[in-house]
Amino acid sequence: MGLIVRAVDSYRDLAAFIDLPWRLYGPSDPWVPPLRMEMKKRLDPRKHPFFEHSIAEYFVAWQAGRPVGRVAAIRNELHEWYHHEPVGFFGFFECIPDIAVARALMDSVMEWLRSWGLKWVRGPMNFSTNEECGLLVEGFDRPPAVLMPYNPPYYAELLEALGFRKAKDLWAWEVDKTTIRMDEVVAMSERIAQKWGPRLTVRTLQLRRLEEEADVLRSIYNDAWCRNWGFIPMLHREFVAIARDLRPIADPDLALVAEWDSRPVAFTIGIPDIHEVLRRIPDGRLLPFGWWTLLRGLRQIRGFRVITLGVRSDFRYRGIEILLYAELYQRAARKGYTHAEFSWILEDNDSMNRPLERIGAQRTKVYRIYERPIEA
């Protein structure tokens, strides 16, 4: 039987789409298996708020009756409206090391995007820059942090052979208790605190007032990121949905809000790296015993990922991000965390990258967004 690519239109197809990574990665790979129930929920247009403004089609490549590749074609209508560009996206890409399979998958993506009048394809995005995105091109020896992807090195070779070229790189930085220049961090934060006095304060995010706090954070996020490459604004329901999904694993001491004269102007959120636990649930199933592994493991996590830090545009260049970094890391150290990843950060975002380098962080991973024109 030859190679065919078929759109997902049945429960069997969806199961093959979700299960494919387990066919490709072995126990020695740094890949961290997701929870299957969470993947199923995430891909369901009835449950993911992304589909309130956008659409997607899922494809599986079959060879000799076996799934050998998958990909999602994504039309992000919010991106089209915000950036005024005819760009579609691909995501959830997984493939055996076979250029014919990769070509067949990407041909299906481009044909689908072309039917909507789009001229370029960009990715990977799962589903947008507000979620997992980027193809790992450096740092294959390290497992991904929570909500970050992993892929083997040959994926870049496949995409580049198909005419995809770099659009933008995203960087991941790591710091631990042996490398962080804590004296410098504290000194910088003390200078900032002294300069602004009681006008600038830092408080803990109130998880019990989630929806109210989510609106505050969403307002800061959309203002702080609005000029960043690839940004699309977060809608209320999307932000609340993400907050609700993260709340079971959140550590309130790692979620901070900076206020200027009692007005929230910046925030940062660190998430305990649940991947340290998910690696112990190799089949991605909570039943029958995975849930017990998860509950026990949550108390043993020693790493966290800083998933976002945003400062309102009219409050930049006051050192607020340094104050938040310092407070975040000092709180984390007191609670027994030993290391952190700051990701992802645009390669040309000097205002974020330079302070991290200054405090002793090391760039350990690079993720690449690719793009190519869709041929007529």
The CA distance from 364 to 139, in Å, is 6
For residue 370, what pLDDT is reported?
A: 98
The CA distance from 311 to 321, in Å, is 7
Residues 237 and 254 in one domain: yes
Structure tokens that stand for 303 in this block:
């790493």
Instruction: Write the CB contacts of 309 (distance below 8 Å, at least 6 apart in sequence).
Output: 266, 267, 268, 269, 321, 324, 325, 352
Which helix (H) or strand (E) covers residue 326, if one does? helix 320-334
Q: What is the pLDDT of residues 105-118, one digit of tens each?
A: 999 999 999 999 99
Q: Locate tokens 């929870």: which residue?
A: 35
For residue 375, what pLDDT is reported?
A: 84
Query: Would you tell me the crossing angle of helices 210-225 and 236-246 to the nearest 10 degrees?
Result: 120
Strand 200-204 relative to strand 339-346, pairing:
unpaired
The CA distance from 47 to 40, in Å, is 10
244 within some domain:
yes
Q: Cis omega before residue 344 (within 30°)?
A: yes
Structure tokens that stand for 210 in this block:
């989630």
Instruction: Write the CB contacts of 197 (distance below 8 Å, at least 6 apart in sequence).
Output: none
Residues 185 and 327 in one domain: yes
151 within some domain:
yes
Range of the domain at 268: 175-366
Alpha-carbon distances of 353 from 356, 359, 369, rounded to whole Å: 5, 10, 18
- Structural domains of the chain, count: 2
- b/e 27-64 (16+ beta carbons within 10 angstroms → b): eeebbbbbbbeebeebbeeeebbbeebbebbbbbbbbe
Residues 15 and 139 in one domain: yes
For residue 182, what pLDDT is reported?
A: 82
The CA distance from 221 to 200, in Å, is 19
Residues 166 and 191 in one domain: no
149, 170, 191 - which closes a domain: 170
Which helix (H) or strand (E) covers residue 216, if one does? helix 210-225
Cβ(78)–Cβ(232) below 8 Å: yes
- On average, the pLDDT of the chain sits at 93
End-to-end Cα, the chain, rounded Å: 30
Q: What is the pLDDT of residues 211-231, one digit of tens each?
A: 788 888 999 999 999 888 999
Residues 118 and 146 in one domain: yes
For residue 243, what pLDDT is reported?
A: 83
371 within some domain:
no
How many residues in total does the chain contain? 376
The CA distance from 55 to 70, in Å, is 17
What average pLDDT does the segment 142-147 reach?
A: 95
Q: What is the pLDDT of residues 44-79, one digit of tens each?
A: 999 999 999 999 999 999 999 999 999 999 999 999
* Lowest-confidence pick of 121-135, 236-250, 336-350: 236-250
For residue 376, what pLDDT is reported?
A: 61
Structure tokens that stand for 161 in this block:
């052979």
Band (239; pLDDT cuts 50, 70, 90): confident
Residues 156 and 185 in one domain: no
376 within some domain:
no
Q: Which range has the top average pLDDT, 13-17, 194-198, 312-316, 323-327?
A: 13-17
Name the nearest CA neighbour of 336 among 253, 277, 229.
253
Strand 339-346 relative to strand 303-311, pairing:
parallel
Q: Is a pLDDT exceeding 80 seen at residue 347?
A: yes
Residues 70 and 94 in one domain: yes
Q: Is a pLDDT exceeding 80 seen at residue 4?
A: yes
Residues 160 and 22 in one domain: yes
What average pLDDT does the segment 144-166 reach?
A: 97
Residues 116 and 21 in one domain: yes
Residues 138 and 272 in one domain: no
> Residue 122's domain is classified under what CATH number?
3.40.630.30
Residues 179 and 163 in one domain: no
Residues 113 and 220 in one domain: no
